[in-house]
Amino acid sequence: MTDSLDILIVGAGPTGLACAIEAAANKLKLLVVEKGVLVNSIYNYPTTMTFFTSRERLEIGALPFPSLNTKPHRAEALEYYRRVAEFYRLPIQFQERVMGITGADGEFHVQTETSEGRSGEYITKKAIIATGYYDLPNLMGIPGEDLPKVSHYYVGPHPYFRRKVVVIGGANSAAVAALDIWRHGAEVTMVFREPALGTNLKYWILPDIQNRIKDGSIRTLPESEVKEVVPGSVCVHRKNVEVLHLENDFVLALTGYHPDFDFLTDIGVEIDPKTRRPHCNSETLESNVPGIYLAGVIIAGMDTNEIFIENGRFHGKQILADILKKI
């Protein structure tokens, strides 16, 4: 138990850090609680990842992002956000998960648990939820999805050298992973539901993957779904007619991710049953629970392509403008 805080921020991603910077600039007593490490989602991105956006659109707190590349790499982003946290001396509790929030506006009780199993509690006047979405993959719900050879995250190409890999998905992350592991010696088959790749791929990825498909380097199975994963193979239904059994060593199920809706509903935030968007005032970003604010991609529900670092970084100013009127 600690003295009462003005603001507790759940999540130390770029959006959570931007909120913390605004709170610190206004001399409020704050704490950021993060279940993992600083910018945990970026840390878990592929080690060779290049951002889709330019360096200036990743900046927070008016600190320049020094990079030799127009589109920075993961390692550069990790270094930048470490510098931000140090420059503003942001108070952050790492490896501590928020388990629940009770109480009411002006006196919320935030229950936490550390990675070592220790329970804790903080009292805060206001809370900001900036938990992102990358930690919860969209599961396929098929037999064998829990086998060790299946992963919903792509870290790097080395384990797939001279192995047969099925990449499930047709979006940017799937295309990037397929290209990367093929270039590092893997035999790659992409399985996706759409008739073809291309509708949502970034312009610099599209010609590369199209050329690899055209020359036969990467095999694709459009209008197809993996229905079962077993040791040594996967079962694919193609166009709801043809059934294929592909010899296989690894499966990268890059089928997207979603926010922690259960946590939001547990603390009283209302969620639209169709869009999965939480109730949120578009001007103040306050939820239907007075005193609890939402920041970043969780505002968009299942449409996780709507909010990125480049627009979520401004949520702190919106939220603090409202909090300062009420605190």
Give the up-direction half-sphere exposure of residue 199: CA atoms within 13 A in the CB hemisphere. Answer: 7
Contact 144, 235 (CB under 8 A): no
Q: Is 173 left (phi over 0), alpha (psi -120 to 50) or beta?
A: alpha
Q: What pLDDT score does 2 carry?
A: 59
Residue given tokens 């804790």 in the structure block: 120
The answer to whether the pTM exceeds 0.85 is yes
To 10 degrees, what angle do helices 315-326 and 14-25 make?
Answer: 40
Residue given tokens 């926010």 in the structure block: 259
Render each residue's pLDDT in the chain as its tens digit; 327 residues.
557 999 999 999 999 999 999 999 999 999 999 999 999 999 999 998 888 889 999 999 999 999 888 889 999 999 999 999 999 999 999 999 999 999 999 999 999 999 999 999 999 999 999 999 998 999 999 999 999 999 999 999 999 999 999 999 999 999 999 999 999 999 999 999 999 987 778 888 899 999 999 999 999 999 999 999 999 999 999 987 889 999 999 999 999 999 999 999 999 999 999 999 999 999 999 999 999 999 999 999 988 888 889 999 999 999 999 999 998
Cross-sheet strand order for the sheet of 150-151: 150-151, 250-253, 164-168, 187-191, 219-221
